[in-house]
Structure formats: structure tokens, C-alpha cells
Structure 1
Amino acid sequence: MSKYSIEQFIEQTRQQDKGEGLFELETPRMLEVNLDGEVWAKMGTMISYRGNMKFEREGVFEHGLGKLFKKAFTGEGTSLMKVRGNGKVYVADQGKKISILQLSGDSIYVNGNDLLAFEPTISWDIKMMRRIAGMLSGGLFNVHLEGTGMVAITSHYEPLTLLVTKNNPVYTDPNATVAWSGTLEPEFVTDITLKTFLGRGSGESIQMKFSGEGFVVVQPFEEVYYSTQQS
């Protein structure tokens, strides 16, 4: 069989059942959900499915007025869709790398833009970060996830996890910060020296400071967020 034949291409790229459960990485950038019930996924990330599936946009009052108010206040938000049915559904987000996390009573924060999918057994809420004028084009919001179940997050390229200890805080670029443990409460700090060095009033001069005990996940990419609300 030719190295470049259609048969060889199919053999190399065809879908394979790995028997890993509800969430399965079909490729590093494509999530297979073996569904028998329902799951939440980021709106617009479905690329294929087989079986009997129903896709529902997140209802305006689906999660109560509190979350609706927060999404309206931030001017942005993670638009979710509920996928119901029995079969396989494949989701991906602009070719970003996917990581699966199994929460067992744990708590994490995920940048709203980097949340791909999660089980309905996970409770969640929108966490608005303290805003600084001119910090980011669209501000910054995160989703707090807690409970037992699986969560899929995305990152541009390979993620890096940094451990935070009481005597060794971690500083990150907000645009490169993907997630952090629920035990941490970040604050925004301004590096005046770096600001002067760069000759501008945003970007690397604004940092997120993580103190305490936990971890922070960063990516080698500075994401730009857009909002309908002015900074």
C-alpha cells in the first residue's frame, strides 16, 4: 500500500475508541464526548457527532438572574450549549490544545475563554476580576468550577503549571493565564519600572499576583479578549 494512498490516510487518521469514559482525547486538539445523558460545552465548538443528539443554546434564565446579571455586567461571557442524547460528539476550539481535569470535590478557576466542556455534576459561577482601566481590551472574567466530574480546558500550545507556595508567589501576564486552583485569590499589581521600560501603560506592566498554596496554569500565548463594554 502506498505511503500516501487514501487507504493509508484513513488508517492513520480514523477515529479510534480508547475506552477512556465520558471525555476522551481523540487527538490533542479534539475532544470526544461519549454521551449518554447531557453535557455543557462552549457554544460553537461542535465539529461533528454521530447518534441522536440535541443541541440547546443556554437559556437566558437557565442559571438564574445572578449569573445573567454578571454576564451582562462584564459585557462578555462564556456562551454555553447543552448537548443531550446518546452517541459521540466531537468538540474543538480553534485548534487549541485540550486538557482534561477530573475534579473530586476540587475547586478551580478557568479563564472564560479557555473553558471547553464540563459535566452537569459540576457547579459553576462567573467570577469577575477587579478591573483596571486600560488593562485589557475586554476586561477579564473567569469561571469558578467546583464539585465532582470532568472539565475540559484549552490552551494555545502546551500549558505550563507553576506551583505557588506561601514564601514564593507567582506573577503572570493576565492574557497568558489559563487557570488556577480554587485555593488562590489573585490580585492585580502594577510594575511601574517595567511600565516605564516598555513605554506603555498596559500589557506586561499589569500582572496577576498569586499568593498562598496552589497552582497556576499559563500558556505561551497572549490572548486578546473583546467586549461589548468599554474598559
Structure 2
Amino acid sequence: MSDYTVREFIQKTKRDTRDKDAFDLQTDRILEVNLTSSLWAKIGSMISYTGDIKFTREGVFEHGVSKMLKKSFTSEGEDLMKAEGRGTLFLADDGKKITILELENDQITINGNDILAFEPTIEWDIKLMRKLAGAMSGGLFNIELEGYGKVAMTTHYEPLTLIVEPGKPVMTDPGATVAWSTNLKPEFRTDVSVKTFLGRGSGESIQMEFEGDGFVIVQSKEE
């Protein structure tokens, strides 16, 4: 590791103040948001801000009774916070890599724990995977997003996108699965045996199977 004088370190790590989009990356693990109205973000993700910004926790009825009931019976993702006002907001999540997606009337499903922030123009809903295998994997609930606007998602290290083609299903580990195109409806494959419960199985007893026409995004570390 190189040594720096204080002046050199400041010069190397100081904020890039050039004009940016509403969502931009200061580093691959720090998101800069140029806030002019509001956005939704993962609670606890704010690391710094300037300007006049107010933070409020997601209200019980903030998104309607349906979403409230789903959240009441799930542990999906983290609670959201609303950031409102004008200023510059910096967000991060446990040092994970951040990717900004621009939705242009697209639909994408993202693991709730992997959503960092999204613009209020995007519609979203919680979706429940009603499979016993899903409950065992700990990956029951996900967030469907659609419409127009920016979404920031996080991954452990670099994400990998796998293309799903008709007749060529793709299997993934639920803990490594980050997101997929919403038109795909994953099923769970199980290979549960006595050895699995005794700790002598392969460790890959539950997989998600994606079949159809779309994509699935995975990360290199299981959650």
C-alpha cells in the first residue's frame, strides 16, 4: 500500500464535483444522488449529505394496505426511508458494489436486500415465492420494479448476467441470485436428503430454476 502525505490523500480521494446525473457513482461503492425532490432508499444507507434534506422512515400505510400486509408477514429487504428536499446525498451499503440501472418502461425483479435506492417515479411491489424450498433458502421475497427512472442495486463484487433462452434453463443458488427479468417466474429445485440435514450434503440442495426468455443476475458471494 502506498504512503501519502495528507495533501496527496485529500487530492486522491476528494469528491468529484463535476456536473452529474441525478444518480451517479463517486466510487463503485458510494452512490451520489443530486436530490431535487425525493427518493426511496434502504434505511441506514445514508453516509453523508449536504443541503436541506429530511429523512423519514417508511410509513406503515405509505404504499397502501396491500404492501403493508406483505411487509408485516415478511422479512424481505430492509425498511425504506424517504429522503426529501434539495441537496447532495451519499449512499452506501456495507461496502457492496453499486450498479445504476435506467428503467425505460422495463420490468425487473430484485432481491429486496440488494436494492439501495430508486426514484419515486418507479412503481414497485413485493412478491412472495410460495415454495417450501424458498422458505428453506431464506430467499422468499423479492421486489418487482417497473416504469421509468433510476434504480441503484448492490452486489458483492462484480455481478454476472446470465442469458436465459427457451429450452435452456439456468439454475442458480438462491443466496447468489440478485435480480432477474420479471417475465421469468423462477421455480425451486430441491435435492433434500438425510445427508443434507446431517451436514453431509453438497451444500447445493436448493436451486432456483429460470426458464423462458430473459436474464438473471448473480453475484460471487452468497447471502
Please confirm whether the aligned pair reaches a TM-score higher than 0.5, indicating the same fold: yes
Match of 1:151 in 2: 151
Match of 2:204 in 1: 204
Secondary structure at the counterpart of residue 215 of structure 2 = strand
1:24 alignment partner AA? D
In structure 1, stretches of 5+ residues that fail to align are 224-231
**Aligned-residue offset at 1:186:** 0.4
Secondary structure at the counterpart of residue 158 of structure 1 = coil
Match of 2:172 in 1: 172
Structure 2 residue 53 is the aligned partner of structure 1 residue 40? no
Secondary structure at the counterpart of residue 130 of structure 2 = coil
- How many residues matched? 219
Contact preservation (8 Å) 1:70, 1:126? yes
Cα distance in 2 between the residues matched to 1:151 and 1:139:
21
**Aligned-residue offset at 1:76:** 4.1
Secondary structure at the counterpart of residue 123 of structure 1 = strand
Deviations 1:25-61 (A, max 9, x none): 1000000001111011000000000011100110011
Change (3 A) 1:222 1:54: same
2:136 alignment partner AA? M
2:35 alignment partner AA? L
Change (3 A) 1:163 1:139: closer
Structure 2 residue 53 is the aligned partner of structure 1 residue 50? no
Cα distance in 1 between the residues matched to 2:63 and 2:207:
31
Contact preservation (8 Å) 1:119, 1:151? yes
1:113 alignment partner AA? N
Runs of 4+ with deviation above 6 angstroms: none
Matches within 5 A, 1:46-125: 46-125=46-125
Secondary structure at the counterpart of residue 54 of structure 1 = strand
Cα distance in 2 between the residues matched to 1:126 and 1:214:
20
Secondary structure at the counterpart of residue 78 of structure 2 = coil
1:36 alignment partner AA? T
**Aligned-residue offset at 1:126:** 0.3
Contact preservation (8 Å) 1:103, 1:147? yes
Cα distance in 2 between the residues matched to 1:109 and 1:103:
12
Cα distance in 2 between the residues matched to 1:54 and 1:24:
20
**Aligned-residue offset at 1:150:** 0.3
Change (3 A) 1:57 1:157: same
